[in-house]
Amino acid sequence: MSFSKRDEDSGRIGYHHYFDKTTVLQEARVFNESPINARKCRALLTKILYLISLGETFGTTEATELFFSVTKLFQSKDSALRQMVYLVIKELSTVAEDVIMVTSSLMKDMQPTSEVMYRANAIRVLRKITDASMLQGLERFLKAAIVDKNAKVSSAALVSSYHLYAIAREVVKRWANEAQEAINAKPQSVVSAASSYVTSFGNAPQAYTAVSNSNIVQYHALGLLYAIRQKDRMAVSKLVQNYAAKSGLSGSVLRSPFAQCLLVRYACKVMEEDPSSTRAVYELLEGWLRHKSEMVNLEAAKAICEMKDATVKELFPAVTTLQNFLSSGKPSIKFAAIRALNKLAMSQPAAVAPCNIDMENMITDQNRSISTFAITTLLKTGNEASVERLMKQISGFMSEITDESKVLVVEAVGSLCIKFPAKHHVMLSFLSGALRDDGGYDFKRAVVEAIFNFVKYIPESKEAALSHLCEIIEDCEYSKLSVKILHLLGVEGPKCPQPTKYIRYIYNRVILENAVVRGAAVSALAKFGVNVEDEAVKQSVKVLLSRCLDDADDEVRDRATMYLNVIKSGDEKGYVKDDSTYALAYLERQLLNYVSNPELADTPFDLSTVPKISRQEEQESRGPLEQAGAIQSLGGRISPPHSGTASNGAGARPAASTTPSLDQQAVYAQKLAEVPEFASFGPLFKSTAKPVELTESETEYVVSCVKHVFAQHIVFQFNIKNTLNDSVLEDVNVLMTPDNDEVSLVEKVLIPAPQLVYDVPGIAYVAFERTVLEDYPECTFTNELKFIVKDCDPQTGEPDEEGFEDDYQVEEVSLAIADFVLPSYIPSFNKAWEDLGIDYEVVETLALTTSPGLQEACRDLIALLGMQALENSGTVQGSNVHTMILSGIFIGGAQVLARCRMTYDSATGVTLQLAIRSTNGEVSQILIGAIA
Amino acid sequence: MVNLTLYTVKAVVMLDSEGGRVLAKYFGSDYSSAKDQKAFEKGLYDKTKRAPHGEILLFDNQVVLYRFHEDVFFYIVGMPEENEAMLLVILNAFSDAVSMLLRHQISKRVILENLDLVVLALDETIDEGIVLETDPSAIVARVSKPRENLSDVPLSEQTLIQAYQTAKEKFGTALLK
């Protein structure tokens, strides 16, 4: 028998178009024939796989029946058939029932005496059908298979263990030593491995005795080892040191480039978690730049480019490596290099500039993804003179590239406008040209956002940009975008010298568009009516708005009516010019609570408890993405959403501090809602913004506390972390003792943290009830942790049976008036102040002896009252006189305003005249009490 | 985000010259419904049909590497931040292995006729998104061929060209030994 014959005849199944599921199910009878016709069966199994691949689905009964007739084929000794059987079983196992029945057949195939092909594949199949409970029984086999001499068996076992780790962490954890052994195993000799395989073929052709040269088994073993150890920072760091160090003269232990890439990633993770290791890891990364494998070089170069605060000098070797890749013959490598450089150019254009000449050559690259990256990178690193030329080049092939690339280009252009404002006309015409191309919503939105940037940051381009926007809404298929643009026109249009020209465009929308856009257009029109001084314009807007009174849509009609009245009555401030909005996350939560609670259905929803924030803050809290977008255009760089700049941006503005805390509060509220004991407490009123640290950060147990205030209850949440890797804490309670016995608080609920293992934070709760509703107690609690401590093995985390009781003192927590006040924004303090009147005003003059200066006094007052400083009055401008205005909501919904007039004299310190007005006299008294 | 896991490949797809599916295997949950898969494949095909030798692109926020043989596209889909060189090695491994199994005659017809070999090659290259082997000859060695029934093979079925090719191959291996 010749080889050629064999191949010629290989299970030919031809085109499959003529068969479908029904015929295949009928043909499945062939599986029951005896003796088994291996070739026929294999062909039919292939058909089944093909059907599945084409998207055909089998019902549970069908799949189960098929599954069991397929398992009959285990009787056949034909290895070619068996391999196909394994594959089909894997595919059907997700649908069929009782698949566990084949376990014994598979176990038999897994035995060390079986052929390699049987063993490796049986392990992989078994992994699919087994579950955590059965794993105990398989453990011995799998452990042995991991360290098997044959790489194929070892790989199969490692990969299967890796999949299993997700469902049976505790069991797989114990295989770390075997994984380690697999990494260190010597490469198998070609002959011994091959021979065992050849037997499965009988007289198999010698050409196919090749054994793997990839050493990929090390990659699998390293991946598994890391998965097992990832929680243990020290172990990971040791892992990296261990394998990185051995890349000395004799070559590394890790021969697999895939494994080396993993090691690069782990090294970066170590660096991220322990900044002190930066130097050492950088040196390792630099070494990997010289590794003989391209993928390792690339991985290391990317890692260096991602390093935070790397200097141009540190980046240099990585950039050089990437520069070499730019001239690679492989498109993928070129792509990888230019993509990494493009990303780097966002933050460090100077470091990338040396590659400019290479990138120029890539502008005309065959692969459009590559040329797009080249151009957008050049736009960032290049000079003003080249901008025009690059824009021209790229508009030549905008239509050919994917939406993702288009968005990249548009974003690059959008951030460029800040850098070269003089070129704004070129960029604007490019963007409006780009809009005419086909493209999805994301692309169009990117273009519109980019044009918004022009309006925002380049005053001289504003008019041109606005007229481009007007053209866009003329035929825009996305209502969302139209609404966005109409809103901007409404804000910016009235400030322009010729507002009338935009009115025409906006009114056109009222005539032609759907209800959503019409509504937005009406609102935009109204802004013209209010903000434009010219009486003639006001008059014409009124005429236009009155035409909308007959609109078919309720919302549009209502808006028109409202705005008409607003313009007529002259009460514009309250509606059109109002720049405050409700804290949306908080509002949403309150509404949800209102809707889900049937008892509240009889009473109207109470808006007064919802804090207000300014539009500006609302914009800032919109989510990190947009924020990063704003920063990107400010600094001409696109920062990744998680970078530090976003938080700096928010921190720079003291007024912005409430919004993040409200978002944080939403997170807490969700967590608390999961605790059934707290369900009866009602909606959460306030959580302290930042956890209070009750221990030093390097003690055995790190504890911090967050206070949650409900209508009548106060919940103390203790976040506790165990930093000892050789002990486990169980049943961790916090004993809170108030310093004042007469305080009107009763402990209601005590929820311990059930178990604290090393480095995984746990939470214990203590809840108090205020017994007298009108009393807002101030007191200090001493806190003590009570728990059972058990020793454990630092490696496995397995605790001893026996434990002993122990306690641990932590610092005090205090409850203050400020905890009952929610900071809230109001648009106009003076008006609100007048409206509240002097009915419930309380004024007191105090000397603030504890505050050394005005700024400190402001800070202390904000902390003591728990209110929000308005109109930037939280920052002291003058040197010895300052007035701070504050606003807040007291628990129960009463509005509170405070005016703090302060003088500073070096001899007497800060003198304060504090005036508090509120809708409730008692509240004013209570708050004054907080200071006095 | 840097991928610290072993899960590297999100999908392997083979499309014909009209964008129809020849073979597809998706891993993970990103494209779990048939509708999503179809939409993804259609978009992918539209973007690559004009540049069959581009090798790489970003599509639908994934890195996609591809190779065109005769009338079939091979695609490997990875996470957006994945190391492109790693994906290239995987694509090469699979594509070369298939090429060797089909004796360097990749086309839709040949693939469908030898689908058993191709699905086994795929299974031996990637296991649920984890790359299993990157050495094409090792993959080829792991793919079993159906055992023949001597009686079913009429000699007349062999063309002269095929006979010549097998002869050449045999001769080549003999020389190598």
Higher pLDDT, B2 or A342: A342
Tens of pLDDT, residues A880-923 = 888 888 888 888 888 888 988 888 888 888 888 888 988 888 88
In the structure, what pLDDT confidence band is assigned to residue A657 with cuts at 50, 70 and 90? very low
> What residues pair up with A714 in beta bridges, in sequence order?
A709, A768
Contact A3 B166 (CB under 8 A): yes
Q: A481: closest CA among A525, A451, A457?
A: A451
How far is the C-alpha of B27 from the C-alpha of B23, rounded, in Å?
A: 14
Selecting from B23, B87, B157 the residue whose C-beta is nearest the C-beta of A53 gives B23
pLDDT computed for residue A13 by the predictor: 45
Reply yes or no on whether the pLDDT at A246 is more than 60.
no
| A831 vs A377: which has the higher pLDDT | A377
Instruction: Tell me how far apart the alpha carbons of residues A739 and A733 are, in angstroms, rounded to a whole number.
Output: 19
Instruction: Collect all residues of chain B within an 8 Å Cβ-Cβ radius of residue A213.
Output: 135, 138
Confidence (pLDDT) at A579 = 64
User: Average pLDDT, stretch A253-263?
Assistant: 90
What pLDDT band is residue B150 in, cutting at 50, 70 and 90?
Answer: very low
Q: Are B121 and B106 in contact (CB under 8 A)?
A: no
pLDDT of residue A178: 92
Nearest CA in chain A to B85: A295
Residue B175 has pLDDT above 60, yes or no: yes
Region of poorest pLDDT, from A261-275, A293-307, A455-469, A616-630 = A616-630
A386-394, long-range: CB within 8 Å, 24+ apart, which pairs?
Answer: A387/A416, A387/A420, A387/A423, A387/A426, A387/A427, A388/A423, A388/A426, A390/A363, A391/A426, A391/A427, A391/A430, A393/A363
CA nearest neighbour of A210 among A195, A230, A227, A226: A195
Q: Which residues of B touch A83 (CB under 8 A)?
A: 120, 143-144
- B54 vs A contacts (CB less than 8 Å): 331, 366-369
Cβ atoms of residues A419 and A636 within 8 Å:
yes
Asked if the model's pLDDT at residue A665 lies above 80, the reply is: no
Give which of A531, A529, A521 is closest to A564, Cα–Cα: A529
- Counting residues of chain A whose pLDDT is more than 70, the rounded percentage is 88
Which of B120, B146, B167 lies closest to A38 in CB terms? B146
What pLDDT is attached to residue A616?
Answer: 66
Residue A837, pLDDT above cutoff 60: yes
pLDDT, tens digit, 9 for 90 and up, residues A77-122: 888 899 999 999 999 988 888 888 888 888 888 888 888 888 999 9
pLDDT tens digit string along A596-609?
777 777 778 777 77
Of B38, B55, B162, the CB nearest to A8: B162
> Which residue of B130, B150, B159 is the best one to mutate when testing the A interface, meaning the one whose CB has the most A CBs within 10 A?
B130
Q: What span, in angstroms and rounded, lies between the C-alpha atoms of A190 and A205?
A: 16
Q: DSSP character for B162? A: H
Work out the number of other CB atoms within 10 angstroms of the CB of residue A627: 20
- Per-residue pLDDT for B79 more than 60? yes
Q: How many residues does chain A have?
A: 932
pLDDT tens digits along A3-30: 333 333 333 444 445 567 888 888 888 8
Q: Is the pLDDT of residue A208 over 60?
A: no
Residue type at A865? Answer: L
pLDDT of res. A637? 35
Confidence of residue A652 (pLDDT cuts 50, 70, 90): very low
Mean pLDDT, residues A496-519: 86
- Check B127 against A4: CB less than 8 A apart: no
User: What is the spatial distance between Cα A822 and Cα A894, in angstroms, rounded to a whole number?
Assistant: 10
Please name the residue that has the structure tokens 């391999």. A83
Residue A630, pLDDT above cutoff 50 = no
Measured CA to CA in angstroms, residue A468 lies from A438, A584, A848, B134 at distances of: 17, 32, 57, 53
Predicted confidence (pLDDT) at residue A649 exceeds the cutoff of 70: no
- What mean pLDDT value characterizes chain A? 81
Q: CA A190: distance to chain centroid?
A: 47
- Are the Cβ atoms of A11 and B54 closer than 8 angstroms? no
Distance CA A403, CA A570 (A): 48
CB contact under 8 A, A402 and B177: no
pLDDT at A194 over 50: no
pLDDT for position A199: 40
Question: Has residue A588 got a pLDDT over 50?
Answer: yes
Q: What is the pLDDT of residues A676-713, one digit of tens each?
A: 888 888 778 888 877 888 888 778 888 889 888 888 88
| pLDDT tier at A723, thresholds 50, 70, 90 | confident
Output B123 or A861, whichever has higher pLDDT: B123
Chain A hits for B34, CB-CB cut-off 8 Å, are: 55
A159 has pLDDT over 60 = yes
pLDDT (0 to 100) of residue A251: 57
Average pLDDT value for chain B = 86
Which of A2, A269, A369 lies at the smallest CB-CB distance from B56? A369
pLDDT at res. A594: 79
Tell me the pLDDT band of A202, cut-offs 50, 70 and 90.
very low
Mean pLDDT of B54-75: 91
**Residues whose CB is less than 8 angstroms from the CB of residue A803 and which lie 6 or more positions away in sequence, other chains included:** A730, A788, A789, A790, A791
Distance CA A49, CA A91 (A): 8
Among B51, B103, B115, select the one facing A46 at the smallest CB separation: B115
Nearest to A922 by CA among A769, A785, A820: A820
Which pLDDT value is given to residue A617? 66
Contact B138 A400 (CB under 8 A): no
Measured in angstroms, the CA of A392 and the nearest CA of chain B are apart by 22
Identify which of B112, B144, B177 has the shortest CB distance to residue A83: B144
Q: Is residue A581 exposed (0-12), middle (13-18) or buried (19+ Cβ within 10 Å)?
A: middle
A636 band by pLDDT with thresholds 50, 70 and 90? very low
Q: What is the CA radius of gyration of chain B?
A: 18
Min CA distance, B70 vs chain A (Å)?
A: 17
Q: What's the N-to-C CA distance of chain A in angstroms?
A: 105
Q: Strand runs (DSSP E) across A314-399, as ranges? A: none
Q: What whole-number distance in Å separates Cα of residue A768 and Cα of residue A779? A: 13
Kindly tell me if the per-residue pLDDT of A634 is higher than 70.
Answer: no
- Whole-prediction pTM: 0.64
Identify how many contiguous H helices and E strands chain B contains and give both numbers: 6, 7
Residue A41 CB-density burial (10 A; 0-12 exposed, 13-18 middle, 19+ buried): buried
Give the pLDDT confidence of B128-141 residue by residue, as tens digits: 999 999 999 999 99
Which pLDDT belongs to residue B90? 95
pLDDT digits (tens, 9 = 90+) for A525-563: 888 888 887 888 888 888 888 888 888 888 889 988 988
Q: Is the pLDDT of residue A427 over 60?
A: yes
Q: How confident is the model at residue B176 (pLDDT cuts 50, 70, 90)?
A: low
Q: How many whole angstroms separate alpha carbon A929 and alpha carbon A922?
A: 11
Burial of residue A471, with CB atoms counted within 10 A of its CB: 0-12 exposed, 13-18 middle, 19 or more buried: middle
Contact B56 A335 (CB under 8 A): yes
Residue A334 above 60 pLDDT? Answer: yes
- Comparing CA positions, the residue from A27, A33, A103 lying closest to residue A66 is A27
Q: Work out the average pLDDT over A200-229.
A: 70
Rounded average pLDDT over A460-482 = 86
